[in-house]
Structure 1
């Protein structure tokens, strides 16, 4: 039986893969339940105002303007959030 050693414990490969697949499935379900676009207020609340504004300046996120409302794509926001920020640029 194959084992995987972690700093705090050792688990079987089957246990590791089962846990990993469950977490991936849960994440996929959560992403599918998210709306395609969210308001600017919600984007600021979830990702931080400074981050969203920085991503817009860097053209990583493109706001969609409707009458009286500014919206952002949740897919673009998630992608921008997952990128490692280089603070030395």
Structure 2
């Protein structure tokens, strides 16, 4: 926001995508979230896309326990990182 000269009034900070989806849909405020989270609302016109920010990324981490029987698909997925 600073780099674009914006001074937002922050109403909520949410870590849960389902809650963020509900707030974006029901509050009438602007929300910054991945379009995939609200794709149905964008398609049916409930929400509008105002801007895309390609330089913003989100990281996901997987925490696993060592198992006696491995899950091949999980091993393959984790080896790609």
- So what's the TM-score if we normalise by structure 1? 0.22
Highest CA radius of gyration, 1 or 2?
A: 1
Q: Which has the higher contact order (CA 8 A, sep 6+)?
A: 1
Larger helix fraction of residues: 1
